[in-house]
């Protein structure tokens, strides 16, 4: 069976109840890259103590947009936690210097110009800012899925955007799971026992 190069990109990963890694227990991840070399994604339901105002001050940008000031910066994952990653809707005609446009999905930008645009009100209307990302080596994610660490949830772009940008962070995990057609309480942390 040949695997397509980006077969789980633009999908959610939901941490299963048996997930023991404290970095990921209860996490909902948007996967923006998945190839034979590995996978990368951003945790979208773990706000940190830092808000955008604080972060913008740190990088010497003045954030003029009042509603965004208190928006939290999220823990995107344990890799490169000093780096910022911005997940946002793909906007035709707009380009930033370091963006990955996920086919059929969202855009992940890791350059300061997107934040500069946000600070003056010309940036993406909906975005989520994280520090760090989640990464897996070649074959690692597939193995963790096989061992019931994760379940992937493919959704239409509108549904994804709705969960990431419009649903309160504390409800995103459940909302993603609800699209699978069963309740989390039906899943036990035990593997292979009904």
Q: Give the residue extent of every domain in the chain.
A: 11-184
Record the tokens describing residue 35, joined without a space.
Answer: 């190839």
H-type alpha helices, 49-168:
52-58, 112-119, 140-146, 157-161
Tell me the per-residue pLDDT of 8-48, one tens digit each, with 9 for 90 and over. 999 999 999 878 888 899 999 999 999 999 999 999 999 99
- What is the distance between the alpha carbons of residues 97 and 4, in angstroms, rounded to a whole number? 27
124, burial (CB in 10 Å: exposed 0-12, middle 13-18, buried 19+)? buried
pLDDT of residue 192: 47
Q: Tell me the CATH class for 11-184.
A: alpha beta
Residue 1 pLDDT more than 60?
no
Residue 117 pLDDT more than 50?
yes
Q: Long-range contacts of range 177-182, CB-CB < 8 Å, 24 or more positions apart?
A: 177/14, 177/153, 179/153, 179/155, 180/14, 180/151, 180/153
Note whether 132 and 77 are within 8 A (CB): yes
- Any idea of the CA torsion for 19, 24, 26, 31, to the nearest 10 degrees? -110
User: In Å, what is the CA distance from 94 to each residue of 64, 91, 109, 113, 162?
Assistant: 20, 6, 12, 11, 21
- Looking at per-residue pLDDT, the higher value among 186 and 61 belongs to 61
């Amino acid at each position: 069976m040949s695997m397509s190069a980006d077969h789980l990109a633009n999908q959610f990963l939901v941490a299963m109840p048996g997930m023991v890694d404290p970095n990921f227990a209860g996490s909902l991840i948007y996967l923006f890259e998945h190839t034979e070399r590995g996978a990368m994604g951003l945790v979208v339901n773990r706000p940190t103590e830092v808000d955008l105002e604080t972060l913008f001050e740190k990088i010497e940008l003045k954030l003029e947009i009042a509603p965004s000031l208190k928006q939290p910066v999220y823990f995107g994952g344990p890799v490169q936690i000093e780096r910022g990653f911005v997940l946002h809707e793909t906007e035709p005609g707009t380009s930033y210097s370091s963006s990955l446009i996920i086919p059929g999905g969202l855009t992940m930008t890791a350059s300061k110009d997107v934040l500069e645009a946000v600070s003056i009100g010309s940036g993406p209307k909906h975005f989520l800012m994280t520090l760090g990302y989640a990464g897996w080596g070649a074959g690692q994610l597939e193995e963790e899925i096989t061992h019931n660490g994760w379940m992937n949830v493919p959704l239409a772009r509108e549904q994804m955007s709705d969960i990431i940008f419009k649903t309160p962070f504390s409800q995103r995990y459940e909302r993603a799971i609800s699209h699978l057609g069963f309740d989390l309480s039906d899943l036990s942390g035990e593997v292979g026992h009904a």
